[in-house]
Structure 1
Amino acid sequence: MDIKDFVGTSPELLPESYLAGDLEGWGVVERLTGGLQQRFAVKARGTWDEAARVLSFTETWTFDDGRQDTLSWRIAKLASGRYSGEEPRVEGEAEGDRAGCAFNWRYTRDTPQSGGDNKSMVLNFNDWFYRIDERVVMVRGSAGRAGIPFSIVHATYRRL
């Protein structure tokens, strides 16, 4: 799949617009081979700074085992539908592209895991966001290591 496949589709997904404000979400993590790994709920809030062209976006994921993971993003809007992002646990920079109703977000993050306060794993993420309507975006993402996915995330975000 290529972001160019979505040119001209609507409704348009502009991360700086859709992710500004309060959102909530829900989803599941599945093994690539099938089978439910985890369920989760998300609470998020974003603020767009037009002058700096930066979105500050914080999302807290609460998993069915009670574990929480909070991501604090600073996402810069670049030229030609491109984005870059920083988050304290992300290695290097996140990269994003948007066209029409879609946004593709890629990054590598030291991600907290179940089983202890200090247990984490460096994972590669490749997330595809699809705008459904004014309030809803659906996400299909993959998580893996060394570029090989082993989990699939399905999430739905709703603007409040």
Structure 2
Amino acid sequence: MAIDAFAGTSPVFLPEIFFVGRLEGWAVLESLVGGLLKRATISAHGELDASTDTVLLTETYTFDDGHSDTLRWTIHKIAAGRYIGHENRLEGEAVGEQAGCAFHWKYTRDTPQGDGKSFKLNFDDWFYAIDESACIVRGSAGRAGIPFATAHVTYRKVT
């Protein structure tokens, strides 16, 4: 789906607004053939450096098997509707596009697993604003460009 399909929809999802403050979230990861793989709770906090249009977002996923993964994002708005992101485990940089209620975020990350291993995974995430304080994400995770799982994530702004 093209991001332009969401032009004119509301409420508008802007990372530099939504990701600022404290957020909580919940996630489920399902295999493509069906079946629950993992569940997680999410705790996040973001701060905006308005002078550089940069959000510093820290999010911690705590999985049902007991392991956690903390991502420390730097998300920079480079033009209207265009973003890049950095995080210490990324391969290259994340690329984002925004229009209306949607934000599309793609990246490849060396992702730690509960057994101590880590895998380089490709993520393709679509954020959809529900209102000013909630969004739902439908994402896919895969290896070598081949998706193997779907993620369903809900975020809610706490402050």
TM-score range, shorter chain: over 0.9
Paired amino acid for 2:108: T
Asked if 1 retains the 8 angstrom alpha-carbon contact of 2:27 and 2:39, the reply is yes
Count of aligned pairs between the two proteins: 158
Asked if 1 retains the 8 angstrom alpha-carbon contact of 2:66 and 2:114, the reply is no
Separation in 2, partners of 1:155, 1:81 = 22
Paired amino acid for 2:126: W
DSSP-derived class of the 2:5 partner: helix
Unaligned stretches of 5+ residues in structure 2 = none
Q: CA RMSD in A?
A: 0.6
1:4: which partner in 2? Answer: 4
Separation in 2, partners of 1:52, 1:2 = 27
Separation in 2, partners of 1:114, 1:26 = 18
Q: CA deviation at 1:146?
A: 1.4
Paired amino acid for 2:133: R
Q: CA deviation at 1:153?
A: 0.4
Unaligned stretches of 5+ residues in structure 1 = none
Q: CA deviation at 1:27?
A: 1.4
Matched, 1:19 2:16: no
Q: CA deviation at 1:80?
A: 2.7
2:86: which partner in 1? Answer: 86
Q: TM-score, normalised by structure 1?
A: 0.97
Matched, 1:132 2:126: no
Paired amino acid for 2:146: I
DSSP-derived class of the 2:79 partner: coil
Q: CA deviation at 1:129?
A: 0.2
Separation in 1, partners of 2:103, 2:118 = 27
Q: TM-score, normalised by structure 2?
A: 0.98
1:155: which partner in 2? Answer: 153
DSSP-derived class of the 1:17 partner: helix
Q: CA deviation at 1:147?
A: 1.1
1:101: which partner in 2? Answer: 101
DSSP-derived class of the 1:78 partner: strand
